[in-house]
Amino acid sequence: MYRHILVAIDPSSEAETVIAKAMAQPRSNAARVTLIHVQEPVGYAYGGDIPLDLSEVTESLREQAETQMKKLAQEAGLDSRNCELRFGRPATEIHNFASDNDVDLIVIGSHGRSGLQLLLGSTANSVLHGAPCDVLAVRIGRSD
Ligand code: AMP
C-alpha cells in the first residue's frame, strides 16, 4: 500500500484521467496524495535570446496554473494544501520533491501537451529515468 502518492499535472485535459488513476491506487488510511505542477521558465521557449521582461507573463501563468490545480484537487476531494507548484525543469523538480517528501509512487500521464505523437511523452520519459520510487505511467489513448 502506498503512503505518499505524487501526481504530476500539466494543463492538458488528460490531468483528470491521471488523477483518477492515482486515486484508485491502494493506499494506507493515513496516505497522502499530492498534486504537483512544475512551471517552466517562459524564457526557455526563446532560448533566452530576446531581452524581454517576462515576469508579468510568468506571474500570470503561475496564477492560472495554481487556480487550475486547486480546481482539480477539489474535484478529486483533495485539500488545496495538497497542491505543490514548483518552478524549473519538470523531471528535476518532481524527483526532488519525491526524494524530500518520502513519496513512494509517482503517477504521470504517458503524454500531455507535447507527447501526442510519442509512445511515452518526454516528461514521462525523463521522470521515469532516475526516479527514487515506483512510477505509474497512465496510458492516455488518442480518443480520450
Ligand atoms: P508530456 O511529456 O508533455 O507529453 O507530458 C506527459 C505527462 O507528464 C503529463 O500527462 C503530466 O502527467 C506530466 N507533465 C508534463 N508536464 C508537466 C509539468 N510541467 N509539471 C508536472 N507534470 C507534467
Q: How far does the centroid of ligand 1 lie from the alpha carbon of residue 1, in Å?
A: 25
With the most atoms of ligand 1 within 8 angstroms of its CB, the residue from 10, 34, 129 to mutate is: 10
- And the C-alpha cell for 68? 487550475
122 lines ligand 1 (CB under 6 A): yes
Place of cell 513519496: 103
DSSP tag of 129: T
Tell me the CA–centroid distance for residue 123 and ligand 1, in Å. 5
Tell the CATH topology of 2-139. Rossmann fold (3.40.50)
Task: Determine if ligand 1 sits within 6 Å of the CB of residue 107.
Answer: no
C-alpha cell of 37?
505542477
Q: Is the CB of 8 under 6 A from ligand 1?
A: yes
Section 93-105 average pLDDT: 98
Query: Across all residues in the chain, what is the average pLDDT?
Result: 86
The grid cell for 144 is 480520450
Which residue from 123, 126, 138 has its CB within 8 A of the most atoms of ligand 1, so it is best to mutate?
Answer: 123
- Ligand 1 centroid to Cα of residue 30, in Å, is 27
Residue 35 Cβ inside 6 Å of ligand 1? The answer reads no
Which of 37-46, 106-115, 131-140 has the highest average model confidence (pLDDT)? 131-140
Q: Where are the domains of the chain?
A: 2-139
Instruction: Kindly indicate the confidence band of residue 128, based on its pLDDT and cuts at 50, 70 and 90.
Output: very high
Sheet holding 2-8: strands in order across? 83-87, 27-39, 2-8, 105-109, 134-138
- The DSSP code sequence of 11-35 is SSTTHHHHHHHHHTS-EEEEEEEEE
User: pTM score > 0.85 for this model?
Assistant: yes
Query: Residue 81 has what DSSP assignment?
Result: G
6-15, 109-118, 126-135: segment of lowest average pLDDT: 109-118
> What was the pLDDT predicted at 119?
56
Cα-trace Rg, the chain: 15
